[in-house]
Amino acid sequence: MKFSIKRTAFIQRLTNVQRTIASKTTIPILTGIKLTLTNEKLILTGSDSDISIEAAIIKSDDNAQLEIEETGATVLPARFFSEIIKKLPGDTFSLNTFENQQTQILAGKSIFKVNGISAEEYPHLPEIEISQKITLAADLLKKVINQTVIAASNQESRPILTGVHLTIYQGQLTAVATDSHRLSQRKIPLDINDLNYDVIVPSRSLIELARMLPDSSEKVELRISENQMLCFFDQTVFYSRLLEGNYPDTAQLIPNNSETELEVNANDFLAAIDRASLLSHEGNYNIVKLTLDPKQQLAKIYGNSPEVGTINEVLNFESLTGKSLEISFNPDYMKDALHSFGQTTVKINFTQPLRPFTLTPSENQSNFIQLITPVRTF
């Protein structure tokens, strides 16, 4: 294998592929990165057996300046190889692999020699023959992921809750995550009506995918098989295994009515919660209290740390209706929820002090719901 390439173009692909490569693994070859050179492109592959990424640099890409002299493949130690490439002098470098898998990297007056491993020993990625695909805008998929993964559990004691439940039915994609203390649900319409899927994707996979997706309307293809999800975008293929099992029925957790309704600017409320949490984080219990009095049109937030002090703040709001209420909750859950709404007004619907409450955008309320379970303080 022999080629030369522009270093910045190579590093961009290398950085994405490295996301999947662990420093320690039960399969030693997976600490390496696989390079495959064909007559048309250079493919970089990384995997930790749960997530796999293939990123291609095509010969016709003028920005990459890929010059192919001899095709072939090898596996190089990912961490060491990456550090070499990032510190090479000059704008371009050349790479040449010999029959004994020793690889020479040349840039300017610098010459590195790295011992590689035969690419034939690298595990084969899943071959999935699926003609049906879901097409989404990259920025929309990224938003859906970021709005839901925040509620997924990080406790392996209930592995099914560490994933995001994706269902596709009657032209609608629904993404749901919950850790049993909070829940996030996002719905988006699709331009295809004859697909039915019910899968659970590890939240870690989706977080890594979101980091790679561009902030643009570039089209992304999703394909789902029995135990894998594939995502195609920008000369990249992202593979993720699916979690096995049945996700709990979360529809019954969302209240259908409310007794108190607060409408606030998400950013203003987020800032107030952030201030209150400065004290709550100092105490043994990370709790803030919200007091609502619709008759007096008064909303207050209270934070307390016996070691440091207290905070009382009167909130600005758009509207407040219903019954008086006093409710306590984890401020970090509330901050995550509010942050997911961005620059908008949210409606917060409460039923009782110890019953879950919901946050929805003032417009299109049925498409996005965040739910938080309050904390008992007595």
* Residue 262 and residue 246 share a domain: no
* Residue 226 and residue 263 share a domain: no
* Residue 258 and residue 247 share a domain: no
In this prediction, residue 201 carries a pLDDT of: 97
Express each pLDDT in 277-331 by its tens digit.
888 777 667 899 999 999 999 999 998 877 778 889 999 999 999 999 999 999 9
* Residue 221 and residue 302 share a domain: no
Express each pLDDT in 34-58 by its tens digit.
999 999 999 999 999 899 999 999 9
| Global pTM value | 0.92
Rounded distance between C-alpha atoms, residue 100 and residue 373, angstroms = 60
Q: What is the mean pLDDT of residues 153-178?
A: 94
Residue 38 falls within a domain, yes or no? Answer: yes
Count the domains in the chain: 3
CA atoms within 13 A on the CB side of 216: 6
* Residue 242 and residue 274 share a domain: no
Is the distance from CB of 301 to CB of 328 less than 8 angstroms?
no
Express each pLDDT in 233-267 by its tens digit.
999 999 999 999 999 999 889 998 999 999 999 99
Query: Which two tokens mark 53?
Result: 């990424």
Residue 378 falls within a domain, yes or no? Answer: no
Domain boundary among 200, 225, 251: 251
Rounded distance between C-alpha atoms, residue 165 and residue 143, angstroms = 16
Residue 343 falls within a domain, yes or no? Answer: yes
Residue 221 falls within a domain, yes or no? Answer: yes
Q: Tell which residue, 228, 254, 251, has the closest CA to residue 128.
A: 228
In this prediction, residue 294 carries a pLDDT of: 97
Q: What is the mean pLDDT of residues 217-222?
A: 93
Quickly list DSSP for 345-372: EEEEEE--TTS-EEEEESSSGGGEEEEE
Weakest mean pLDDT among 119-128, 203-212, 258-267: 119-128
- Chain position carrying tokens 């949490």: 277
Which range, 114-118, 121-125, 128-132, has the best average confidence (pLDDT)?
114-118
* Residue 154 and residue 77 share a domain: no
Residue 127 falls within a domain, yes or no? Answer: no
Domain boundary among 71, 92, 121: 121
Rounded distance between C-alpha atoms, residue 215 and residue 143, angstroms = 9
CATH assignment at residue 349: 3.70.10.10
In this prediction, residue 366 carries a pLDDT of: 78
* Residue 339 and residue 241 share a domain: no
Query: Which two tokens mark 67?
Result: 């010059």
Rounded distance between C-alpha atoms, residue 63 and residue 37, angstroms = 18
Query: Which two tokens mark 58?
Result: 């095509």
Residue 129 falls within a domain, yes or no? Answer: no
* Residue 226 and residue 158 share a domain: yes
What's at 16, amino acid-wise? N
Is the distance from CB of 33 to CB of 129 less than 8 angstroms?
no
User: Alpha-carbon Rg of the chain, whole angstroms?
Assistant: 25
Q: Which residues make beta-bridge pairs with 45?
A: 34, 54
CATH assignment at residue 179: 3.10.150.10
Across the chain, what does the average pLDDT equal? 93
Q: Tell which residue, 126, 146, 158, 161, has the closest CA to residue 53.
A: 126
* Residue 242 and residue 348 share a domain: no
In this prediction, residue 131 carries a pLDDT of: 66
Residue 128 falls within a domain, yes or no? Answer: no
Residue 19 falls within a domain, yes or no? Answer: yes
* Residue 217 and residue 150 share a domain: yes
Helix (H, G, I), strand (E, B) or coil at 205: helix
Q: What is the mean pLDDT of residues 191-219?
A: 92
Q: Which residues make beta-bridge pairs with 51?
A: 240
* Residue 162 and residue 142 share a domain: yes
* Residue 277 and residue 240 share a domain: no
Cα separations in angstroms, 193 against 26, 196, 197, 366: 42, 8, 11, 20
**Residue 378 per-residue DSSP state:** -
Q: In which domain, by residue range, is 165 found?
A: 134-251
Domain boundary among 121, 156, 175: 121
